[in-house]
Amino acid sequence: MPKFAANLTMLFTERPFLERFAAARAAGFDAVEFLFPYAWPAQEIKARLTQHRLQLVLHNLPAGDWDAGERGIACLPDRTEEFRAGVAQAIAYATALDVPQLNCLIGKVPAGADPRQVDEAVIENLRHAATELARHGKRLVVEPINTFDIPGFYLHGTAQALRLIEQVGADNLFVQYDIYHMQRMEGEIAATLQKHLAQIGHVQLADNPGRHEPGTGELNWRFLFAHLDRIGYDGWIGCEYQPATTTEAGLGWIEALSH
């Protein structure tokens, strides 16, 4: 049976963020993940994790001005200092919250940018982030994202992510494989997971179309979860989906797996 982590950016959104930890535990989750912790003191989040006996398995590096539409700054050559400051901030939070790995959203390529300069910025920024995280015993993951939802996103395919990891050359750099994003971009979910399992550090899910909970779209989740068990994936699976109605009303898919 896979291990599921509730993504608190997407689930239980009827509640203020700090109340979602209790809701995740009440719903039966043992672990959580979310995009960013930086709007709250680390000790506030740590208190919720401890109180509700939850493990935090992932959060992201700072990704620029999210409300203004930025989705990462690692591909912006003129924002290197900001990126490095964000790495330091992320490590401080991850250390306080005992998070084993951090995700770097690469970002959207600016119109008219020099592709060579963009590529160089990405490689150098990831090399720096991976080096700093390694000093603290933590892993870095990078996430390919579909360009239907986020046009212009730099990293948008599995093969591209694997090439990038090879270019960076860091032992602690892995792919964050989001099944929803990769179903939209390339399909071949089961074969890709099996072929590249050693380089996949984290898995996330949502059904397609709609990005709702498993069972609302075209994917055969019973097969995929059994497949992940068969090939030996032993990490957490982040539930990063938009509930079709409410989070609680849509959680029957987890219970159905045991029948």
The candidate with the shortest Cα–Cα distance to 126, out of 78, 166, 159, 158, is: 166
**How far apart, in whole angstroms, are the C-alpha atoms of residue 106 and residue 122?**
7
Q: CB-based contacts of 243: which residues, under 8 Å, 6+ apart?
A: 10, 11, 212, 213, 249, 250
CB 24 within 8 A of CB 56: no
The candidate with the shortest Cα–Cα distance to 172, out of 120, 205, 231, 128, is: 128
Reduce the DSSP state of residue 164 to 3 states and report it. Answer: helix
Using CB atoms within 10 A of its CB, is residue 254 exposed (0-12), middle (13-18) or buried (19+)? middle
**How far apart, in whole angstroms, are the C-alpha atoms of residue 120 and residue 137?**
25
Residues designated as active site: 143, 240
CA distances 171 to 41, 137, 174, 194, Å, are 31, 11, 8, 20
What are residue 101's DSSP bridge partners? Answer: 139
**How far apart, in whole angstroms, are the C-alpha atoms of residue 67 and residue 78?**
20
**How far apart, in whole angstroms, are the C-alpha atoms of residue 100 and residue 98?**
6
